[in-house]
């Protein structure tokens, strides 16, 4: 395929400068809305109270409005008698015109009622007794007692709320209290979101090989809404220049023109990528266009991002891979949307953590790595998710990210790094599971979550989990490591001060497509010969996994085609065989069944849990141990295909 190179790969600071300058003409706009529509909106102007709050001297209790000096000296054994006025004031009832409390007189008043002229205190009902002459006062009042005076909360002319305030229920209540029926708020910028590419399929429709569900549009629409903007979903446009150009031109010049256009996909090198071509052509044709100001930034992930202004409207083409799209959205688009929607910069905290393993970086590009944070003996440890730019789940799982400068080639194991949190706070998990992933373990973790424990799974494989347990960073590590000399699982690999909690057995075997009759019919002795002959392409497992040890024993030194193709999970093995990229592999019977593959049993493997001695009696670990001893939980595991 003929390749089209990036226009101009620039440093991220240069990219920000160019895009900021191209968008400098854009400013927040305001509109008046009814207070009932103000929740979640951002004030465009200060709100000044036109009234006093409260607007009158108000009684805080049920009782009698009095002149405090008339009650001085009153005691239970020596009460003072006051005459009761003919006037009684309920809440919302104004005193008669010209009425004033005379000396020696008490005026009944309800909670919230108007305190009449002449009174400077309210006696609680509990501090009075009935008397033929009126009431007996058994405790004196103090001047100002039980009264909220007019204007003591908010004074007329006082600024009660400042521009830039995002309105929650607390703020709307205050605005209602000062009578603000209509409020001046920032207009929500309308942001169109378009997914492009022939391979993109709307969720819910059938998915063919080579196609992917459109996760970017959902993520971007919701991210836009979170920033106080109005998301405008525009669906999926195939790789068709005419349709794409019509769509973008309508979004920047039509009657329903938006404030910002976001596209995802079609930004990398490649003849089939049309977004850059269409945006460039529109930028040359439409007035008020800066055109493409950036196409390619020295970032990983996110290098192919395209930043442009067409017809006065910012047009951003984000990479198609989900992680790349998310990073570049938050790096370049979110600051613009926050400015246009009147939002302040996010309160993103930074914490220090130790890297438990070495990370290599692409020299010459600023690199972002998503990490999980776990609590270790020396503080927080940052485990890289190891997710590429195509990962869909990475942002949902991560606690934060580290930023590796362009000039840095690697981050050494044990280095202290700054982790930029994706959430305002990080609360360490009650149970950090670091090791091999298993759906049975997933079920146990879900049961712990049902009990109120916060659980976290960091899939780094059995060897990585054992290492994490040895360092005291894991509460529990799921492991299935086979000793090649003895054929036994797990016990011989335990580091010092790490205990083994017995888990369950998993059935491992060879998987293949049902069309392969030879693998289905040959006996066990011939099976080894057939697999080692190399006529079929295999998919291997990663070195250090228990399954890899089993495969190497099975092949007896042979290395068939595909031996170097190492899948990191049982599910990845099944997918490779199901899709025809490999002809056989070794995985679990439960995974094979879900993928519709044939399965030939080889041997049971033992999936156990390595637990540091220091974590053995932590509440979440105790709860896990109790689950494994619960017969009903054992039945649930059996239903999933695992035997205790």
**CA–CA distances in Å: residue 396 to residues 372, 475, 630:** 11, 22, 31
Report the pLDDT value the prediction gives residue 2, as an integer from 0 to 100: 40
The listed CATH number (3.40.980.10, 3.40.50.2020, 3.40.50.300, 3.90.105.10) that belongs to domain 30-53+153-186? 3.90.105.10
In the predicted model, is pLDDT for residue 7 greater than 60? Answer: no
Question: Which of 24-33, 429-438, 621-630 has the lowest average pLDDT?
Answer: 429-438
| Mean pLDDT, all residues of the chain | 89
Mean pLDDT (whole number) for 492-506: 94
If one counts every other C-beta atom within 10 angstroms of the C-beta of residue 107, the result is 26
Q: How far apart are CA 252 and CA 246, in angstroms?
A: 10
d(CA 445, CA 438): 11
What is the rounded distance in angstroms from the CA atom of residue 504 to the CA atom of residue 644? Answer: 4
If one counts every other C-beta atom within 10 angstroms of the C-beta of residue 6, the result is: 17
Torsion of CA 469, 473, 479, 482, to 10 degrees: -40
Q: Report how far residue 576's alpha carbon sits from residue 571's, in angstroms, rounded to the nearest whole number.
A: 9
Helix axes 241-253, 275-285, angle to 10 degrees: 50
Q: Is the pTM here over 0.85, yes or no?
A: no
Q: Which of 1, 22, 2, 24 is nearest to 295 (CA)?
A: 22
pLDDT of residue 141: 95
| Tally of CB atoms within 10 A around 253 | 16
What per-residue confidence (pLDDT) applies to 3? 39
**E-assigned strand segments in 265-312:** 291-295, 299-300, 306-310
CA distance 423 to 346: 10
What integer pLDDT is reported at residue 394 of this predicted model? 65
Least confident piece of the model among 13-22, 412-421, 440-449: 412-421
- Residue 54 has a pLDDT of 86
Predicted confidence at residue 350, as pLDDT, reads 85
Q: Is residue 272 predicted with pLDDT exceeding 70?
A: no
pLDDT in tens, 593-626: 999 999 999 989 899 999 999 999 999 999 999 9
Query: Higher confidence at residue 447 or residue 154?
Result: 447
pLDDT surpasses 90 at 550: no
Residue 424: name the closest of 495, 351, 485 by CA. 351
User: How is residue 86 written in tokens?
Assistant: 């003919």
Query: Where do the CATH 2.40.340.10 domains begin and end in the chain?
Result: 362-421
pLDDT band at 5 (very low <50, low <70, confident <90, very high): very low
Q: What's the rounded Cα separation, in Å, for the pair 125 and 129?
A: 8
Class (C level, CATH) for 58-148:
mainly beta
Distances (CA, A) of 637 to 441, 465, 574: 9, 22, 21
pLDDT digits (tens, 9 = 90+) for 273-309: 689 999 999 999 999 999 999 999 998 888 899 999 9
472: DSSP letter: T
pLDDT given at position 213: 87
**Quick check: 134 and 83 in contact, CB under 8 A?**
yes
Q: What is the pLDDT of residue 283?
A: 94
Nearest to 448 by CA among 436, 462, 433, 437: 433
Burial of residue 557, with CB atoms counted within 10 A of its CB: 0-12 exposed, 13-18 middle, 19 or more buried: exposed
Which residue did the predictor score with more confidence, 548 or 190? 190
User: CB burial class (10 A; 0-12, 13-18, 19+) of residue 99?
Assistant: middle
Residue (of 605, 576, 611, 613) closest to 589 by Cα position: 605
> Per-residue pLDDT tens for 335-386?
999 999 998 777 668 888 998 888 888 777 888 888 888 888 778 888 887 6
For the chain, where do the domains classified as CATH 3.40.980.10 start and end? 12-26+188-201+211-340
User: In the structure, how many helices (H) and strands (E) does the chain have?
Assistant: 17, 36
CB atoms within 10 A of CB 73: 11
Asked if 171 and 160 count as a contact pair (C-beta separation under 8 A), the reply is no
* Overall CATH class of domain 12-26+188-201+211-340: alpha beta
Count CB-CB contacts under 10 A for residue 254.
Answer: 11
Give per-residue pLDDT as tens, 77-126: 999 999 999 999 999 999 999 999 999 999 999 999 999 999 999 999 99
The second-level CATH assignment, the architecture, of 431-501+612-640 is: 3-Layer(aba) Sandwich (3.40)
Q: Which helix (H) or strand (E) holds 575?
A: helix 570-578
Task: State the span(s) of the chain assigned CATH 3.90.105.10.
Answer: 30-53+153-186
Averaged pLDDT, 547-552: 86
Q: Pinpoint the alpha helices (H) of 364-478.
A: 394-397, 439-450, 461-471
CATH code for the structural domain at 362-421: 2.40.340.10
CA angle centred on 440, ends 434 and 443, rounded to 5°: 90
- pLDDT tens readout for residues 514-548: 999 889 888 888 888 888 877 899 999 987 677 88
DSSP-derived letter for residue 330 is I
Q: Taking a C-beta distance cutoff of 8 angstroms, is the pair 119, 30 a contact?
A: no
Statement: residue 398 has pLDDT above 60: yes
Between these two residues, 184 and 151, which has the higher pLDDT value?
184
**Count of other CB atoms within 10 angstroms of residue 449:** 13
Dihedral (CA of 172, 176, 178, 181) sign = positive
- Token pair 């103090």 is found at 142
- Quick check: 52 and 109 in contact, CB under 8 A? no
CATH superfamily, region 504-607: Periplasmic binding protein-like II (3.40.190.10)
Cα–Cα distance between 625 and 451 in angstroms, integer? Answer: 14
Tell me where in the chain the CATH 2.170.190.11 domain(s) lie: 58-148
């Amino acid at each position: 395929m003929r390749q089209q190179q990036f226009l101009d790969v620039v440093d991220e600071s240069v990219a920000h400068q160019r895009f900021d300058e191209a968008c400098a003409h854009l400013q927040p706009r305001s509109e008046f809305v009814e207070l009932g529509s103000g929740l979640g909106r951002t004030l465009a102007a200060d709100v000044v109270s036109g009234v006093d709050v409260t607007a009158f001297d108000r009684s805080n209790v049920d009782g009698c409005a009095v002149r405090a000096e008339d009650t001085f000296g009153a005691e239970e054994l020596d009460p003072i008698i006051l005459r009761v006025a003919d006037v009684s004031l309920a809440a919302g009832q104004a005193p008669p015109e010209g009425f004033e409390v005379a000396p020696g007189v008490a005026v009944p008043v309800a909670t919230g009622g108007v305190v009449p002229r002449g009174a400077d205190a309210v006696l609680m009902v509990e501090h009075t007794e009935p008397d033929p002459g009126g009431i007996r006062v058994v405790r004196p009042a103090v001047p100002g007692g039980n009264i909220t005076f007019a204007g003591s909360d908010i004074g007329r002319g006082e600024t009660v709320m400042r521009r830039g305030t995002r309105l929650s229920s607390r703020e709307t209540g205050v605005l209602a209290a000062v009578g603000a029926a209509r409020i001046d708020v920032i207009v929500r910028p309308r942001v169109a979101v378009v997914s492009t590419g022939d391979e993109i399929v709307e969720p819910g429709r059938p998915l063919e090989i080579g196609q992917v569900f459109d996760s970017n549009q959902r993520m971007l629409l919701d991210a836009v809404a979170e920033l106080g903007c109005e998301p405008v979903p525009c669906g999926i446009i195939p790789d068709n220049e005419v349709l794409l150009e019509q769509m973008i031109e309508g979004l920047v010049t039509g009657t329903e023109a938006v404030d910002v256009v976001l596209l995802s996909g079609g930004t990398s090198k490649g003849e089939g990528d049309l977004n850059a071509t269409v945006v460039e052509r529109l930028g040359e044709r439409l007035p008020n266009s800066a055109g493409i100001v950036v196409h390619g930034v020295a970032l990983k992930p996110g290098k192919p991002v395209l930043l442009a202004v067409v017809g006065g409207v910012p047009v951003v083409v984000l990479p198609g891979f989900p992680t790349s799209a998310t990073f570049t959205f938050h790096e370049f688009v979110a600051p613009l949307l926050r400015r246009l929607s009147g939002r302040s910069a996010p309160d993103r905290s930074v914490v220090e953590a130790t890297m438990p393993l070495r990370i290599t970086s692409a020299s010459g590009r600023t690199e972002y790595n998503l990490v999980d944070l776990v609590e270790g003996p020396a503080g927080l440890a940052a485990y890289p998710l190891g997710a590429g730019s195509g990962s869909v789940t990475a942002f949902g799982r991560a606690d934060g990210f580290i930023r590796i400068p362009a000039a840095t080639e690697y981050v050494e194991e044990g280095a202290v790094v700054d982790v930029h949190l994706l959430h305002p706070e990080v609360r360490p998990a009650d149970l950090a599971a670091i090791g091999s992933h298993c759906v049975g373990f997933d079920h146990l973790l879900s049961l712990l979550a049902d009990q109120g424990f916060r659980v976290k799974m960091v899939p780094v494989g059995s060897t990585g989990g054992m290492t994490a347990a040895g360092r005291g960073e894991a509460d529990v590590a799921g492991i299935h490591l086979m000793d090649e000399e003895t054929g036994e699982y797990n016990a011989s690999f335990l580091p010092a001060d790490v205990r083994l909690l017995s888990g369950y057995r998993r059935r491992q075997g060879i998987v293949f497509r049902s069309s392969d009759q030879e693998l289905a019919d040959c006996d066990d002795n011939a099976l080894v010969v057939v697999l080692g002959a190399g006529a079929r392409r295999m998919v291997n497992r990663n070195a250090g996994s228990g399954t890899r040890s089993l495969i190497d024993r099975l092949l007896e030194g042979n290395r068939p085609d595909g031996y170097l193709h190492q899948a990191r999970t049982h599910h990845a093995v099944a997918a490779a065989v199901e899709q025809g990229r490999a002809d056989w592999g070794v995985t679990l019977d439960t995974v094979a069944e879900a993928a519709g593959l044939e399965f030939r049993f080889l041997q049971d493997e033992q999936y156990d849990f390595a637990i540091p001695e220091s974590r053995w009696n932590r509440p979440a670990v105790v709860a896990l141990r109790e689950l494994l001893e619960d017969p009903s939980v054992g039945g649930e595991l059996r239903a999933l295909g695992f035997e205790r």
